[in-house]
Structure 1
Amino acid sequence: MTKAEFLAILEKNLDGTATEAEQKLLDDFYRHQLAQSQQKWTFTEKERIRLEVFESLNRAIDEDVRQQRRARFARIWRVAASIAVVLAVGLGLYLARFASKEIQYLTIITHRGEQKTVTLPDGSRIWLNAESSITYPEEFTALETRNVQLKGEAFFEVARDEAKPFAIRSGDLITTVLGTSFNIRDYPEDQTIAVTVATGKVKIETAGDQHQQTESQLLVPGEQGLYNKQSASIAKMQVKLEKYLAWQGGTILLEGVSLKEATDILSRRYDAEFVFKNPALETCTIDGKFRNDKLENILENIRFLMGIEYRIGEGNKVIIDGESCH
């Protein structure tokens, strides 16, 4: 008997439509040949369930019941249905356990003018800056590495777990730690990805493919790694931490940045649009420190420091004008 013939008769048997000759053929095959044939046949999950129902019936029903199967089919089918339910529930629980191992990911997004704090399943905390996103698994238990993906800027306080390194993918750069605190900035318009370390040690490396040689650097507190998106190279330098970490505490620190860079920062923080009527003003440099201040107050300070003029229009659109600083 072929597998197809066996399954066809098995289906008719369980449906109650098999003839006496087919029932006898199936019983004989089950008793004498099925075990040997099963070594060569491969069953689908549905076929295996039907076979288990049939085998359970044969174990549960004595010889007299089998001989009177047609006359008493209704009662036997209730038995078969009960067994099928038990098997289906068992299979469902098994599949549920298997499915639970599939990794589900969550994504947290901030818009312009918005910041959020996120606590990960391992207890790590992330301060997400404006216009950024972080993607992470619902749980890390089934993973060898705690992998997350960042777009934009975030400050991380990673819970230490030496058995499961924490890895952040930002563009073509991978940042790996065991437990430490650091900042990553990777906005689309930035020419570099900046990783600034506050505590512990951080490894950064390029995410090259099999045809590219990777480059890596080890960073310690007070150091910053800069990945150049154009050249795919990494540079390391000493930096003043406050300049790069102040935002996480609600402070806007502008030290020797151009007015264009300053307005880019302000546009994200306050969901504003800046327009320079005099483009020469964009390259003027500015220094200032502002903590949880209103946009109007910050613009007033810039006006006083640089002698510019500004006007806030509809939709939080800020027009910058004035004489060139050069």
Structure 2
Amino acid sequence: MTRINQLLDKFRSGNYSKNELNELLNMLQVSSEEDAIDVSMYLHWDECKNDPIGDEERFQQILDEIHHIINLRAPKPSFAKRLYTGLSRVAAILIIPLLIAFFIAMHKDEHLFAVAQNTVSVPLGAMSQFELPDGTHVWLNAGSKLTYPVTFDHQKCRVVALSGEGFFKVHKDKRFPFIVRMNGMDIRVTGTVFNARSYKDEPDVTVALIEGSVLLGKQVANHNVFEVSSALRPMEVAVLNKTTHRITLSMKDDLTKYIAWTQGRLVFDNDPIETVIEKLEKLYNIRVEIRDKQLLSYRFTATFTNESLDRALKIIKMSSPISFQIINGIPDSTGTYGQRTLILTKDTRLNENQHS
């Protein structure tokens, strides 16, 4: 098999790299008559395969084309040779748009309805609730983004992409599974209620299942195959570590802490300070600096309901030896203030009072 045939096979199957595509186009621009025959047969053979009624007639057309090209290769006067050389170059140039048209025809079913996409982005300090075209209800948390097709018609699966945190009440349709793509893990369901959290700046991906069932894994092969890593049951939580790619499953008596944000609440249940900081940064649109590493060993249990940042910090301070300082952002040329900074340190005065 010639190199050009190898590239054509890769091109037809869709299994090619950007470098291989560039190599194919470069080869076509300088292709010989043998290569032109290969491409002509390749393109026309696909037509024959899809239309058995015209097989014999088209096969004869292909043979005629090949014979014509072979005849042209016979010794000719210099003028004819120059003319043939020019025509060969033109033929090579014409093959490229034919190849592009062939590519579009081969992949039109896969990509035609995947072009038009909607994206909902929620800024820090906010939350959004909306409905997808299939009737699925979605809540997006602060600093999150969801991308989805304008319509799920003619799709094998209902595929959306999540960056951040989302709560989903999926419209049930067993014919068309609902798939959430995230950084490191995909979720496949048919009709389910679950919460998914996958922020780029956080080390873990977390999925909490409220109702139904979900499969965790990766969607491959043009939505036809789903490689399952784990399956969740109601009241179960899966945590994927992005570094180790390890999934930890655990049953919970209460999932309130995972979904309370949809009602404007923050719930911490013996959570490390890193978790508290991650959620405070997104809810209040602030940047947090920990100046005392001893604070990293502290854990917190508290519930905040539509609290101001100052009030939330005072509640945290009541249960831990923490001192905080808020630095306002610097205004830019338009007068808009930048992100505030929250500095956390250990409150040494508490220890001094205990020793006095």
Q: Shorter-chain-normalised TM-score: which range?
A: 0.5 to 0.7
Q: 1:176 to 1:226 in 2, by over 3 A?
A: same
Q: Name the CA distance, whole Å, in 2 between partners of 1:102 and 1:259.
A: 45
Task: Output aligned runs, 1:198-213, within 5 Å.
Answer: 198-206=210-218
* Residue 102 (structure 1) aligns with: 113
* Residue 156 (structure 1) aligns with: 168
Counterpart code for 1:249: Q
Task: Output aligned runs, 1:211-250, within 5 Å.
Answer: 214-239=227-252, 240-250=254-264
Q: Can you give the 5+ residue segments of structure 1 that lack an aligned partner in the other structure? A: 1-35, 42-97
Q: 1:232 to 1:321 in 2, by over 3 A?
A: closer
Q: Name the CA distance, whole Å, in 1 between partners of 2:320 and 2:191.
A: 43
The C-alpha deviation readout for 1:198-250, integer Å capped at 9, x for no partner, is: 111111114579xxx94422212100122222232333210231121111111
**Matched length:** 231
Q: TM-score, normalised by structure 2?
A: 0.60
Q: Does 1:285 align with 2:299?
A: yes
Counterpart code for 1:219: L
Q: Name the CA distance, whole Å, in 2 between partners of 1:293 and 1:274.
A: 18
Q: 1:294 to 1:282 in 2, by over 3 A?
A: same
The C-alpha deviation readout for 1:141-160, integer Å capped at 9, x for no partner, is: 11011000111111101011
Find the structure with the greater CA-based Rg: 1
Q: Among 325, 329, 332, which residue is 1:311 paired with?
A: 325
The C-alpha deviation readout for 1:71-94, integer Å capped at 9, x for no partner, is: xxxxxxxxxxxxxxxxxxxxxxxx
Are the equivalent residues in 1 in contact too, given 2:180–2:186 (CA < 8 A)?
yes
Q: Among 268, 276, 279, which residue is 1:265 paired with?
A: 279
Q: Name the CA distance, whole Å, in 1 between partners of 2:246 and 2:292.
A: 35
Q: Name the CA distance, whole Å, in 2 between partners of 1:182 and 1:102.
A: 27
Q: Name the CA distance, whole Å, in 2 between partners of 1:257 and 1:112.
A: 22
Secondary structure (helix, strand or coil) at the match of 2:194 reads strand
Please report how far the alpha carbon of residue 40 of structure 1 lies from its aligned counterpart in structure 2 after TM superposition: 5.3
Q: 1:121 to 1:241 in 2, by over 3 A?
A: same
Q: Name the CA distance, whole Å, in 2 between partners of 1:102 and 1:185.
A: 27
Q: Name the CA distance, whole Å, in 1 between partners of 2:215 and 2:266.
A: 27
Counting aligned pairs with the same residue, the percent is 27
Are the equivalent residues in 2 in contact too, given 1:101–1:142 (CA < 8 A)?
no
Q: Can you give the 5+ residue segments of structure 2 that lack an aligned partner in the other structure? A: 1-56, 63-107, 330-339, 352-356
* Residue 12 (structure 2) aligns with: none
**Following TM superposition, where does structure 1 have runs of at least 4 consecutive aligned residues deviating by more than 6 angstroms?**
none
RMSD: 2.7
* Residue 146 (structure 2) aligns with: 134
Are the equivalent residues in 2 in contact too, given 1:172–1:208 (CA < 8 A)?
no
Q: Name the CA distance, whole Å, in 2 between partners of 1:125 and 1:173.
A: 21
Are the equivalent residues in 2 in contact too, given 1:215–1:234 (CA < 8 A)?
no
Secondary structure (helix, strand or coil) at the match of 2:152 reads coil
The C-alpha deviation readout for 1:15-48, integer Å capped at 9, x for no partner, is: xxxxxxxxxxxxxxxxxxxxx99x959xxxxxxx
